[in-house]
Amino acid sequence: MAAPAIRIRNLVTRLGDRTVHNELNLDIQTGCLTAIAGSSGSGKTVLLRAMALLLPPVAGTIELFGQSTTTLSRSAERGLRGRMGVMFQHGALFTGMTVLDNVAFPLLEHTALPRSAVYEIARIKLRLAGLAPEAATLYPSELSGGMTKRAALARSLALDPELLFLDEPTAGLDPVGATAFDELIVHLRDLLGLTVILVTHDPVSLWEIADEIAFIGEGRVLASGPARTLAQSAEPAVRCYFGGTRMQRAGASWDQE
């Protein structure tokens, strides 16, 4: 088996005085669509931020593509950041730029391509994320919730990352929009050969699109595996999470298919 894209060993993170993760271990395989699940406040987003090099760990190691991230030179860090894209929960689009400029921004920063090529690539990314051409010249404040998510996804794909981090991609979308977004994520993974890590609460996403689920609780990974396996887990917290009615219904409809 190929080396994992991300290898986390004995990770400890703190927010203020509160220890969020304690000796957490996790491997994420290349090309895999891994969901990070867990109840609210279990540190899913914090883990995502740690993996995306946005939050330095207190102890432990995170290896991205076999490269340790604890002692990175500035140029190595910049190189790594070019290989990953992050889509934030609320989009975090730059409010002073149009959607197209938002997507073009990382390209202009990281490459020496001329503007015409950059904007051509940016337009492809918007298309890839399923945005209409009319949306390109809008400002973030003029976008609907679904369009904001898609624009944020387009920006996170700007540099053709190998790793894509998605924080609650379907939160706040209507059911149709959420399903479409799930399908889009799978489509992009297949088309671009991405390794996707998504933090989600959406039972449908967990059952339908995740290859692997890492269930976080008590500061560590309580269980991991496909939804089917986790639903039968012996761990009480995991069983409780997957035993909820919403989760059951999503699982039942998945079984029928």
Partner 1 sequence: MHVIRETLATTESEPRLSWRIAQRRVVCSGNWSVARLAAVERQIRRNVPMTSGEWRINLGEISTLDTAGAVMVQRLCRRLRAAGASVQLEGVSAERHAVLKLAASEMGMVPRRPRSNPLERLGRRITSGCLGIIEYLAFIGRLTADSLPRVLRPHRLRWHEIAVELERAGVMAIPIIGLLAFLIGIVMAYQSGNILENYGANVFLVDLLGVIILREMGPLMTSVIVAGRTGASYTAQIGTMQLTEEIDALRAMGVTPFEMLVLPKFLALLIALPLLTVWADAMGLLGGMLVSDLLYGVDFEVFLQRLPTAVPADMFWVGIAKAPVFAALIASIGCYQGFRVRHSADEVGRYTTISVVQGIFWVIVADAVFSIVLFSWLGL
- At its nearest, how many Å lie between partner 1 and the CB of residue 46? 22
- Orientation angle between helical segments 236-243 and 245-256, nearest 10 degrees: 70
Please report the DSSP string for 218-251 in residue order: TTEEEEEE-HHHHHT-S-HHHHHHHHSHHHHHHH
Contact, 24 vs 50, CB < 8 A? Answer: no
Determine the interface stretch with partner 1 among 8-16, 41-49, 159-167, 176-184 (rule: CB under 8 A): 159-167
- Could you give the C-alpha distances from 37 to 119, 217, 219, in angstroms and in order? 36, 9, 12
Cα 73 off chain centre by: 25
> Could you tell me which of 18, 57, 40, 4 has the C-alpha nearest to residue 168?
40
CB closer to partner 1, 23 vs 120:
120
**Pattern 65-104, binding to partner 1, x per CB under 8 A?**
x----------------x-----------xxx-x-x----
Q: State which of residues 41, 56, 133, 236 lies at the interface with partner 1 (CB under 8 A).
A: 133
Contact call for residue 45 and partner 1 (CB under 8 A): no
Contact call for residue 172 and partner 1 (CB under 8 A): no
Q: State which of residues 41, 56, 175, 193 lies at the interface with partner 1 (CB under 8 A).
A: 193
- At its nearest, how many Å lie between partner 1 and the CB of residue 125? 7
Contact call for residue 31 and partner 1 (CB under 8 A): yes
> Could you tell me which of 239, 185, 242, 183 has the C-alpha nearest to residue 32?
185
Q: State which of residues 40, 73, 141, 256 lies at the interface with partner 1 (CB under 8 A).
A: 141
- At its nearest, how many Å lie between partner 1 and the CB of residue 247? 26
The three-class DSSP label of residue 48 is: helix
d(CA 192, CA 189): 6
Contact call for residue 146 and partner 1 (CB under 8 A): no
Contact call for residue 126 and partner 1 (CB under 8 A): yes
d(CA 115, CA 107): 9
Q: State which of residues 22, 29, 111, 179 lies at the interface with partner 1 (CB under 8 A).
A: 111
Q: State which of residues 27, 162, 167, 212 lies at the interface with partner 1 (CB under 8 A).
A: 162
- At its nearest, how many Å lie between partner 1 and the CB of residue 66? 8
CB closer to partner 1, 89 vs 111:
111
Residues β-bridged to residue 11: 24
